Amino acid sequence: MRPPKQEQLPASTEVTEVGPGVLRMQLPITMPGLGHVNTYALIDDRGVALVDPGLPGDASWSALTTRLRDAELKLTDVHTVIATHSHPDHFGGAGQMAKEVGADVVVHSAFARWLTAQPTAEPDIFDVDAEDLQEGSPFDLPTPWGTDWLRPADAPPISEWTKPQPTRWVRNGEVLHLAGREWFVLHTPGHTLDHICLHDPETGILLSGDHVLPTITPHIAGLGSGRDPLNAFKASLELVAAVEDVNLVLPAHGHPFTDLAERCAAIAEHHEERLARLQDISQELGPATVIELSHELFRPAAWGGMAESETYAHLEHLRQLGLAERRGDGPDLVYVVAAR
C-alpha cells in the first residue's frame, strides 16, 4: 500500500505560525485525494483576514471557530475572507462568515457565476469571456461524455450552502493589504478559471491555493474552467515560477515548501508525460471514449468523475493543438488522437 501524500493526511488541530503574522489552521475534509484544507489567518491591527475558510456546513464551521479560539482570536476579529477559487473546500465558510460578522469577501473577477450575483467579468491576463463563464452549477449539469458530475462527498446539499456574495472582485496585479503589508494578486487559471495566488514580496511568501501543491499534481477540470484549462494551467505555472523573491510557499493542502520553480517544472512535466501517454494509448485503442481513456491513464482506485474530467481536459488540449479529433456527443463521444 502506498504511503499517503501530504495532502491526504488528516487535519491537525495544531495552529502554527508559518510567517510574520500568518497562522496555518487545518480544517478536516474527505474529498477525493484530500484529508484537510489549510486556512491561513493573516493578522493585522484591524483583526484578521482568512484565506480559504473550508467547506460549507456545520462540521467545518465548528472546526474553524475552534481553531480561531485556540489562536486566541474571536469571530468578530475577522474582517475579510479571501477565496482563492470557487471550490467548496475553499469558499465554503466565506458566506457564513459574512453573515455572522459582516466580513468582506474577496474573489477573482471570474469567480463562478452560479455561486454569486456577479454582473460581469472583465478580461484578465488570461482572457475571460462569456463563452468561458459557466452559468449553471457544474454539479447539476451532465458532462459532455454523458455522465453525472461528482458532488463534494462531505458537503451539505448545495441548496443549504450559504453562498458567498463578494464585496470585492480582484484581477491580476491588484494589491491587498493583509497582515500589515502589501500582497499582490496573481491570476492563475487552470485548476479553475478564477484561481488566484497571493504574493508578499516583503517576506517572500506565496499563498498558492491549489495552483501549486507539494506532493500531488492539482486536478485540471475539463468542466467550467474555460475552453483549454490545461493550456491556461501551463501558462500559470510559468507565471508563478518566474516570480522573484519567493522563499516560502503556503499551499491550500499539504505542508509549506520552498522549491517553487522546481515544483512548477515537475508538475508541468507530469502533464506533458500524460499528453504523450494519451497519444500512445490512442494508437492501441483507436477511437475511444473519455471513460475508456481515463481507465488507461489512472489506476483503478482513482477511476470516476475526477479522472474522467482531467482526461477530458487533456483531450481537449490535444484537440486545440490539432492533434485530436472529437466525434459524437454524450455517451457516444469518442476521440481519435494523432500519434507522436
What pLDDT, in 10s, does the model give residues 300-322?
988 988 899 999 999 999 999 99
- The Cα 228–Cα 314 span in angstroms is 9
Q: Can you give the CATH number for the domain in which 38 is found?
A: 3.60.15.10
Average pLDDT over residues 125-130: 55
pLDDT digit string, tens, across residues 176-195: 999 999 999 999 999 998 99
**Do residues 241 and 281 share a domain?**
no
**Do residues 112 and 184 share a domain?**
yes
Q: Please, which pLDDT band fits residue 143 given cuts at 50, 70 and 90? A: confident
**Do residues 51 and 17 share a domain?**
yes
Q: Give the C-alpha distances (Å, rounded to integers) separating 23 from 35, 60, 175, 205, 317.
A: 19, 18, 20, 13, 38
What are residue 16's DSSP bridge partners?
Answer: 24
Q: What are phi and psi of 285, to 5 degrees?
A: -90, -25
For residue 273 the three cell numbers come to 508525460
Cβ 143 vs Cβ 118: under 8 Å: no
Predicted local distance difference test score (pLDDT) of residue 124: 74
Residue in 90, 170, 167, 175 with CA at minimum distance from that of residue 125: 170
Cβ 216 vs Cβ 178: under 8 Å: no
Q: Which domain holds residue 105?
A: 6-268
What are residue 49's DSSP bridge partners?
Answer: 42, 80
DSSP 3-state assignment of 260?
A: helix
For residue 41 the three cell numbers come to 489567518
Residue 1 forms part of a structural domain? no
- The Cα 127–Cα 193 span in angstroms is 10
Please provide the average confidence, as pLDDT, over all residues in the chain: 90
Predicted local distance difference test score (pLDDT) of residue 266: 98
Q: Can you give the CATH number for the domain in which 297 is found?
A: 1.10.10.10
Q: Please, which pLDDT band fits residue 132 given cuts at 50, 70 and 90? A: low
Predicted local distance difference test score (pLDDT) of residue 221: 86
Residue 82 forms part of a structural domain? yes
pLDDT digit string, tens, across residues 187-216: 999 999 899 999 999 999 999 999 999 999
Predicted local distance difference test score (pLDDT) of residue 98: 96
**Do residues 108 and 162 share a domain?**
yes
Residue 122 forms part of a structural domain? yes
**Do residues 234 and 301 share a domain?**
no
Residue 100 forms part of a structural domain? yes
Residue 172 forms part of a structural domain? yes
- The Cα 163–Cα 33 span in angstroms is 24
**Do residues 50 and 187 share a domain?**
yes
**Do residues 113 and 31 share a domain?**
yes
| Final residue of a structural domain among 235, 268, 301 | 268
Q: Please, which pLDDT band fits residue 115 given cuts at 50, 70 and 90? A: confident
Q: CA torsion 129→54→88→316, rounded to 10°?
A: 60
Residue 31 forms part of a structural domain? yes
Q: Please, which pLDDT band fits residue 225 given cuts at 50, 70 and 90? A: confident
The one-letter amino acid code at 1 reads M
Residues with Cβ within 8 Å of 41's Cβ and at least 6 positions away in sequence, in order, are: 22, 23, 25, 48, 49, 50, 68, 71, 73
Look at the block and give the residue holding cell 477530458: 312
- The Cα 172–Cα 134 span in angstroms is 20
Predicted local distance difference test score (pLDDT) of residue 285: 96
- Which regions of 160-201 does DSSP assign to beta strands (E)? 168-170, 175-178, 181-187, 196-200
**Do residues 284 and 204 share a domain?**
no
**Do residues 160 and 307 share a domain?**
no
Domain count of the chain? 2
**Do residues 293 and 177 share a domain?**
no
